[in-house]
């Protein structure tokens, strides 16, 4: 086995990658940049909300007690989720 390969120098100031593009000053271009990054999260959250709505519709057709229990459990589920979520200012 030949180990003649050398590792690249670990110099944090020497980047071999292309520089990042400048932040756009045009308002429309900034929104395009944000939506380019955000659209997967928007779609994922939308599908999750649709799933919860369909689940509640099925439960409501089954019985009102089941529907009430599902709504109560969602409160128990969302409380820890909200406490652990630090994406918004409090």
- Look at residue 23 in the predicted model and tell me its pLDDT: 74
Lookup: tokens for 12: 């944090």
Roughly how many angstroms between the first and final C-alpha of the chain, as a whole number? Answer: 58
| Of 73 and 84, more confident | 73
pLDDT averaged over every residue in the chain: 76
Q: Predicted confidence band at 2 (pLDDT cuts at 50, 70, 90)?
A: low
Does pTM surpass 0.95?
no
Percentages (nearest 5) of helix, strand, coil residues in the chain? 65, 0, 35
| Contact partners, residue 41, CB within 8 Å, separation at least 6 | none
């Amino acid at each position: 086995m030949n180990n003649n390969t050398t590792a690249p120098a670990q110099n944090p100031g020497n980047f071999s990658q292309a520089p990042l593009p400048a932040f756009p000053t045009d308002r429309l271009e900034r929104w395009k940049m944000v939506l380019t990054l955000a659209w997967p999260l928007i779609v994922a959250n939308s599908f999750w909300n649709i799933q919860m709505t369909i689940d509640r519709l099925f439960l409501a057709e089954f019985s009102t007690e089941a529907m009430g229990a599902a709504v109560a459990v969602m409160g128990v589920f969302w409380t820890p989720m909200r406490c652990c979520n630090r994406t918004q200012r409090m």
